[in-house]
Homo-oligomer: A and B are copies of this chain.
Amino acid sequence: MNYRSALPLSHVRFPRGFLAERARLVREVVIPYQWEALNDRVAGAEPSGCVHNFQVAAGEKPGKFHGLFWQDSDLAKWIEAAAYRLATHPDAALDAELDRLIATLAKAQGADGYLNTYFQLVEPQQRWANLRDCHELYVAGHLIEAGVAHFRATGKRTLLAVVGKLADLIERTFGLGPGQIPGYCGHEEVELALMKLARATGEARYARLAAYFINQRGQEPNYLAEETKRRGDPLPWHMYFDGLGTLQAARPVRELAEPVGHAVRQMYLLAAMADVALDLGDDSLRRTCRRLWDRIVQGHLYLTGGVGSEPYGEKFTEPYDLPPDRAYAETCAAIGVIFFARRMLEDELRGEYADVMERALYNNVLSGMSLDGTKFFYVNPLELIPAVAKRRYECHLVKTQRVGWFGCACCPPNVARLLASLGEYVASQRPDGLALHLYAECDLRFAVAGVGVRLAVRTDYPWTEAVALEVQPESPQEFTLHLRVPGWCRGARLAVNGAAHALAPVDGYAALRRVWRAGDRVELTLPLPVERVRADPRVATVAGCVALQRGPVVYCLEQADNGALLAALSLPRAAELTARHDPALLGGCVVIEGPGLRLPTGPALYQTTPPEPAAQSLRAIPYGLWANRGEGEMRVWIRET
């Protein structure tokens, strides 16, 4: 498992339900589809070249490198996702396919352990020469994550051996020792990968290498600044405004006051920092993680759980600068939020971490993939007017409809690996029992003091408020079930074996300790009223607006339901909103409906006669399901009148 407290993926099953359906899509559609894409067999999609590049590097076929210099990482993320699928759904054909692919990777690897098809095929003399831009360690990190996942899923050490050799090369090459490069990667990723490798192999030196990368980052003399000077090239365009801060490398990481720079990198760095803080017991790093968590949650988090409000450089900006139409909110960055949150849950069982994790999952991440699993968003705005987004330069990275693949295809396989490993996010093993973080229909297996326990969770959450748990220990056993009571939830109720039970959550978790016997039933009720959410008015772009939320699900208006010109719509303060399950809509979901108002257009561009708004019923759908009915306007923040 990626998290020390996570249950093995094979011990978590999702038989049905909303998330189960997404996970099934990933297994049955996304992973096979992406395999085709990585093999350049998807008509109309931008070619990937990934498998081709490894085959060429392995000498299995002639040809040239295709793609961006971090292209290998797309394949690595897919291998990781495929391995998670093998862990939960053994599949001989996929297993064999992976074996063949891994053999190619092993053949492509240099004798010294180096493996990066771009630098092997295109610029062999430039190895490690441009850490600022060239993502070599980032790519290595994804290969390492793939190797660990494959090993855990299959027990085979084939890919683990390859990435171990690569990690050993990195260990020899980087550091403060004589002859070593005192550098680190412009794009963080290898740090968290090395932490996984350390756990998988039991080799603490990999954790120390991760710590080195984190601790050395931004130290003076600044390696990336020196490297830049050596090459004599200018800072690239995407380092606009923040300079090396774009890479979180302008100062040592413990001195970061606010999240800065490229959002995915910042989140991956924070995830790795949390790993190192915990595994190596580094308190100053732990304090830094908590401080940055607070700053993100207080000023940089979109309601949908996304981060990164500046498309130019895919970056964090000022606190509260969260424009909905210019949200970057890259799918990968929201996944980074989940990585960070999940690791913070390892540090402390605090509901806030799970709340944010759940918010990012149900909204920004699910928005990243179409209902049928074949199309993806990279950018996930909170407001879209297609004609404007197509026209204005600052929106030129926004796609008005999901696309099949991207030249820079980081997001699709990232969604796949996250949803394929959902089991690691649902629960944590605790010394005294088990903590449940996410509520979804699932069957868990874990052990307490050697006694095996099965836990069946039955629920239609997030659509319905009842969560039923049935506990099946092999023999009566005392332990604690820590049940998360979401931060948005008021009036949660609990019954044990039919009898009401006091619920006194501490830091967002209610500890239910008792001697559990086979067949014990817990009923948790999480009321799901429709809520109007308002942003701090320092979020100037949505002052005076409300967003609708029900449980963890953020809602949006779509043109398909409400007509065009959503900006003309408003929601009266007193309007009563109702939630209704529509089994036919978007695979079945709860919609929110209520009376609204629409401002009339015309007759002039500007006028002094107050307009008479007309009544119009509004219907909002879950944000994570938007853009599944053709191109149209969308809007999360609705004017309140």
Contacts and interface: CB of A to CB of B under 8 A. Distances in A.
Interface of A: 240-241, 297-299, 301, 303, 310-313, 317-318, 320-321, 326, 385, 387-388, 391-394, 396, 488, 531-541, 543-544, 549, 565-568, 570, 573, 599-602, 604-608, 610-611, 639, 641
Nearest to A298: B605
B608 A488 contact: yes
Nearest to A320: B605
Nearest to A608: B531
5 contacts: A240-B396, A318-B391, A320-B605, A394-B394, A533-B608
Contacts of A317: 388, 391-392
Contacts of A318: 387-388, 391
Nearest to A549: B608
Contacts of A297: 605
Contact of A393 (B303, B310, B387, B610): B310
B394 A326 contact: yes
B391 A533 contact: no
A633 to B, nearest CB: 9
Contact of A540 (B240, B531, B565): B565
Nearest to A598: B537
A534 B394 contact: no
Contacts of A544: 544, 570, 599, 639, 641
A327 B360 CA distance: 32
A641 B546 CA distance: 14
A397 to B, nearest CB: 12
Nearest to A316: B391
B310 A392 contact: yes
Contacts of A607: 533-534, 536
Given A312-B393, A317-B391, A536 B601 contact: yes
Which of A385, A392, A570 gathers the greatest number of chain B CB atoms within 10 Å?
A392
Contacts of A385: 540
A170 B540 CA distance: 52
A605 B639 contact: no
B538 A601 contact: yes
Contacts of A600: 537
Contacts of A488: 608
Contacts of A573: 610
B388 A534 contact: no
A321 B537 contact: no
Contact of A639 (B387, B393, B543): B543
